[in-house]
Structure 1
Amino acid sequence: MQSITIRRAVAQDAEHLTALIQASGAYRGGYASIISGYQVTADYLARHRVFVAIDAADQLLGFYALVLDPPELDLVFVSDDVQGVGVGRLLIEHMIRQAEEAGLTEVRVVAHPLAERFYRRLGAERVGTVAPSPPKISWERPELRFTIAGRGAAEHTAVTATR
């Protein structure tokens, strides 16, 4: 795998994060309504723990957003070009460390139905479903939780990370 750095998102990243969301192949067709018109703003980046994964050429590979109150993994996106090579895993492992540092005991995830297996492979447990909320969301979504308390740092793969 190429060299990947995870760093805190800054206001100048907002447009690139929005573009990554809008380009996501997972949200084409019947799932497109959920991201229609969605924008990541500088204010959003300032209010939440948002981290980006970049390569050695400073290309955006993916990002996540952790909301602390209430604890929720609000957004996770990985560029279609690099899915399946471990970027998502690195982002989730980083998110878990951030949650530990913040003193969280669990983090809720309302997942895209196609992403449930990914989260479960990384340790999330399914705790239910979230009903549709038309008109934007006309399908059930899996509700999962990452249990944070008691996870040791030794479980996590080392990642080059800066704040």
Structure 2
Amino acid sequence: MKEPLTVTLPGGGRRGKRVRIVRATARDTRRLTRLVRNSRAYEGHYAAMVAGYRVGPDYVETHEVYLATGDDDRLLGFYALVLSPPELDLMFVADDAQGLGIGRCLIAHMKDRAREAGVEAVRVVSHPPAEGFYLSVGAHRTGTVKAEPPAVLWDRPELLIPVR
């Protein structure tokens, strides 16, 4: 896959919104961490899960981490793909960029990367409010991952995204 990948999302005027997807580097870790910690999806009783979370340089170097940015280089979202065993470990879209197609664009990119690596399907242990999104992009539910206190206090849907 050539990098960077630039796509134009529908809407946003005559041209649409241009989004670049590039491999994250150690220099991106602060803004990736900020996106995770500030996500409104993890407010309330979910907040404890991301309060001390950090996306570190070692994580970015070890896994397939890709970020989506706008023309102004603003971080719109990112995903982290673990190849062995195949799992979508992280996926976040900036609160003000949700509903613009960024998540679908990231999932399409993730499927391409997984396919290139010879993967047939990618496991997702979803944040409960995000399950509907994953189902809408072709995932199917395979089970439930039970709560693991004190880190995770709630059950989470387990899904599989076919990529072949």
TM over 0.5: yes
Q: 1:16 aligns with which of 10, 25, 31?
A: 31
Q: 1:6 aligns with which of 16, 21, 25?
A: 21
Query: Counterpart in 2 of 1:53?
Result: 68
3-state secondary structure, aligned to 1:21: helix
CA distance in structure 1 between the partners assigned to 2:134 and 2:163 by the alignment: 14
- Aligned-residue identity in percent: 52
Aligned residues: 149
Matched residue type, 2:87: E
Q: Deviations over 1:54-73 (max 9, x none)?
A: 00011100000000111000
Q: What is the aligned-residue RMSD (CA, Å)?
A: 0.7
Runs (4+) of structure 1 exceeding 6 A deviation are: none
Query: Counterpart in 2 of 1:97?
Result: 112
Higher relative contact order (CA 8 A, sep 6+): 1
Matched residue type, 2:85: P
CA distance in structure 1 between the partners assigned to 2:163 and 2:95 by the alignment: 28
The normalised TM-score by structure 1 is 0.90
Query: Counterpart in 2 of 1:132?
Result: 147
Matched residue type, 1:22: R
Q: Deviations over 1:104-157 (max 9, x none)?
A: 0110000000000000000000000000000121111000001122xxxxxxxx
CA distance in structure 2 between the partners assigned to 1:118 and 1:145 by the alignment: 13
The normalised TM-score by structure 2 is 0.89
Query: Counterpart in 2 of 1:161?
Result: none
